[in-house]
Structure 1
Amino acid sequence: MPTYNKLVRDKIPEIIENAGKQFDIHIADTSEALSLLEAKLDEEVLEFHQDKNLEELSDILEVIFSLAKSLGFSEEDLLNKRLTKKEERGGFDKNIVLEKVYE
């Protein structure tokens, strides 16, 4: 019997139950949830490094939205901040590599 002790998407218990399996879960408090979301982000980024596909990118985005929510920010807050920073500092579209800054 595998032991996971990791954060899973909200419908995973229902999916496991529909498969006729039993499981144990608990609901994380705010502090534990933040720590688990940070670990989940690391997990999803690692999976993206391995598979480099849209599904893994969407998993990363979902974790980031959940992290923002746990810190008191909405998805809209996060997306607005992204746009503001892109307007002020640009994006990463041009693949510019900074090598040196001379003083």
Structure 2
Amino acid sequence: MIVYNKLVRDRIPEVIAASGKRCEVRVLDDQEYILRLNQKLQEEVQEYLADQSVEELADIAELIRAILEFRGVSPDQFEEIRRAKQEARGGFSKRLLLVHVSD
């Protein structure tokens, strides 16, 4: 038996069962759910930084979607926030590195 104690995607128990194995899962309360979402986000960001995989970016996007849903923020509201920040402060397409600021 391997103990994982980690947040997994919704269909993982089905995938495990289809492979002929058994697993135990439990439903998290709100406090532990957001904690585990944040932990999983950190894990996926580290995995992306290690291998630069677009697959890892997809995992990060799915976690962001789940966190937004948990916080009651719609994808449209999130896009409005992102767009407002981009309009006010710009994006990252110019590849600017701030070296220093002087008085």
Residue 94 of structure 1 aligns with which residue? 94
CA deviation map 1:21-70 (0-9, x unaligned): 10000010111100000000011001101110211111111111111111
- Superposed, which structure 2 residues align to 1:1-103 within 5 Å? 1-103=1-103
Quick one: distance in 1 between partners of 2:6 and 2:100? 41
CA deviation map 1:50-99 (0-9, x unaligned): 11021111111111111111112122221221111111111111111111
Shift of the alpha carbon at 1:12?
0.6
Quick one: distance in 2 between partners of 1:12 and 1:78? 28
Q: TM-score, normalised by structure 2?
A: 0.94
Shift of the alpha carbon at 1:101?
1.5
Show structure 1 runs of 5+ residues with no match.
none
- Code of the residue aligned with 1:7 in structure 2: it is L
Q: TM-score, normalised by structure 1?
A: 0.94
Quick one: distance in 2 between partners of 1:50 and 1:97? 22
Tell me how many residue pairs correspond in the alignment: 103
Shift of the alpha carbon at 1:11?
0.8
Quick one: distance in 2 between partners of 1:76 and 1:21? 40
